[in-house]
Structure 1
């Protein structure tokens, strides 16, 4: 499940992932939120909170994630990932070099720091 987090500027798409994430989560939650932010802003920031109850993605959700990311690649300004799940942290660190924006990974205990960084002026 993906849920939108409230209280962020319109150039920040803030999300929390719990349990099992499906393509339907992308189609109904993530993609519309990103499209809305991209219509209003030249550059967009994304905050992903991936909780300890995260079970994984459907293959179709993983593909949708990749597709959405690549389609708007030059428009990502910052991406903050909050997670204590080791494979998520390693994957983000491994692929951060291909992202045009800045990617930072934070442990759950530093969630407030991640939220501050994602909203700070450049």
Structure 2
């Protein structure tokens, strides 16, 4: 049996005077990955009265979701979408670009696809 790396890391980055919540998704995400990540996200949002969070999401190493994990991702958008102001999605390929466009259509925040982190940060700073 091969070991396959997968998961979500959550962090905070700073660029000049702007802070970003960062997500890096690796491999094929599972429901268990979301069970670890969601409490961290909720704890970060809980301390802010009216959060307007900019997010830098790196999905360049994402290979997809298990069905239940895709449902978990949708629930995050529904339950916490108003906390996010902008989400810059860094990835590669037409499929990931299409996923970013779908996110922009069905969520209350602005989502845009980029092929570089610099372009993504520049857009978040506007």
Q: Give TM class, smaller chain.
A: 0.7 to 0.9
The correspondence for 1:96, drawn from 104, 111, 118, is 104
For residues 35-46 of structure 1, what are the structure 2 equivalents within 5 Å? 35-41=42-48, 42=50, 43-46=52-55
Greater Rg over alpha carbons, structure: 2
Q: What TM-score do the two structures reach when normalised by structure 1?
A: 0.79
Match of 2:33 among 16, 25, 31: 25
Report the count of equivalent residues: 116
More strand by share: 2
Matches of 1:37 and 1:20 in 2, distance apart?
24
TM-score norm. by structure 2 comes to 0.77
**Pairwise CA distance, 1:85:** 2.9
State how far apart, in whole Å, the 2-side matches of 1:85 and 1:33 are.
Answer: 29
Instruction: Tell me the residue number matched to 1:79.
Output: 87
- The alpha-carbon deviation at position 82 of structure 1 amounts to 0.4
Q: Which structure 2 segments of 5+ residues have no match? A: 1-6
User: CA 1:100/1:18 → structure 2, altered by over 3 Å: closer, same or farther?
Assistant: same
5+ unaligned residues in a row in structure 1: which ranges? Answer: none
Quick one: which of 53, 64, 79 aligns to 2:72?
64
> CA-atom RMSD, angstroms?
2.3
CA deviation digits over 1:59-109, x for unaligned, max 9?
1110000011101232221111001132121122134133222211101xx
Cα distance between partner residues in 2 of 1:10 and 1:114: 13
Structure with greater helix percent: 1
- Which residue of structure 2 aligns with residue 49 of structure 1? 58
Q: Which residue of the partner structure matches residue 23 of structure 2?
A: 15
